[in-house]
Chains A and B, each alone.
Chain A
Amino acid sequence: MTDSDPQITLYRLQACPFCERVVRVLDDLDVAYDSRFVEPMHSERNVVKRVSGKRSVPAIVDGNTGVTMSESANIVAYLERTYGDGGAA
């Protein structure tokens, strides 16, 4: 809701190292994103389950490509593939 409506939404948990790993890659690639912070309790993360099928974070929704993805290693690989040098987008 800042930075002229980024297309990527990152579901994250405060201080979650896997989430920070994704943030670092987004920043390194200079990709804009919106953060949505969710609860530490898995059972209270229905919004993440609705968008990604799982309650785990990080999860991203990329409006540029229509991709929704969980698991930080997968997300990092996806971001580098899509937005890195020679990436598709």
Chain B
Amino acid sequence: MELGFEVIDLPTSDHPEPGDTAPDFTRPLVGPEYWADASLSDVVGGPTLLAFHPMDGAFPATYMWNAIDDHGFAEDVQLVGVSASSPYEHKDLLEERAEGARLFSDPDAGVAEAYDVENHLDGMEGVTEHRPAVFLLDADRTVQYAWVADEWPAFPDYEEVAAAIDEHA
């Protein structure tokens, strides 16, 4: 973003890189009609875009899903989101955007810790959420493409994501 001043740098992340196996986890997975505990390994049956985002309702979450919808990634890959929001908030988000996606609810940010995408929020004591981050996974959960925000805020390069999907999915 061109703002004419420095935005906040986030600490270096030791996140999964291409070639690594994305860490498995189990959390409530919210779809249009219900939520149920699910493991990432159960959900990934083919190319999957795993998108971490700030809590539902924050503008970066809205921007990310609007952009993912606009690019039509759901036509080529399975879309899975993760945020700190509750299943009730995920249901609301899915009524507005994130067409075809399902969303994991990770209120304690344990998945964020496993992927090293934690963002401890300044001015919201005790709240840790997820940095914007996207991982393209193949059917074995091998990372094909990874991007993690290193500034706050920062957004994925969606053309780069599209190119990765074209190459790997």
Listed in ascending order, the chain A residues whose CB lies under 8 Å from chain B are: 1-2, 11, 34-39, 46-47
CA distance A36 to B32 in the complex (A): 12
Contact assessment for B42 and A1 in the assembled complex, using a CB-CB cutoff below 8 Å: yes
CA distance A47 to B34 in the complex (A): 8
- Which residues of A lie under 8 Å from residue B38 when comparing CB positions? 1
- Which residues of B lie under 8 Å from residue A2 when comparing CB positions? 26, 37, 39
- Which residues of B lie under 8 Å from residue A47 when comparing CB positions? 33-34
Contact with B33, one of A1, A35, A38 (Cβ below 8 angstroms): A38
- Give the A-B contact count at a CB cut-off of 8 A: 27
Contact assessment for B37 and A1 in the assembled complex, using a CB-CB cutoff below 8 Å: yes
Total interface residues on B, CB under 8 Å, equals: 12
Q: Is the interface of B mostly helix, strand, loop or mixed?
A: strand
Contact with A1, one of B34, B39, B87, B91 (Cβ below 8 angstroms): B39
- Which residues of B lie under 8 Å from residue A34 when comparing CB positions? 36-37
B28 within 8 A of A: yes
Assuming the contacts A2-B26, A37-B87, A39-B91, asked whether A11 and B42 have C-beta atoms less than 8 A apart, the reply is no
A4 to chain B, nearest CB (A): 12
Contact assessment for A35 and B91 in the assembled complex, using a CB-CB cutoff below 8 Å: no
- Which residues of B lie under 8 Å from residue A36 when comparing CB positions? 34-36
A36 to chain B, nearest CB (A): 4
Chain B 32-62: CB-based contact to A (< 8 A → 1; otherwise 0):
0111111100100000000000000000000
- Please name 8 pairs of A and B residues whose Cβ atoms are closer than 8 Å in the assembled complex, sorted by A: A1-B36, A1-B39, A35-B36, A36-B34, A37-B28, A37-B34, A37-B87, A47-B34
A11 to chain B, nearest CB (A): 7
Contact assessment for B39 and A46 in the assembled complex, using a CB-CB cutoff below 8 Å: no
Closest to B41 in A: A1
- Which residues of B lie under 8 Å from residue A39 when comparing CB positions? 91
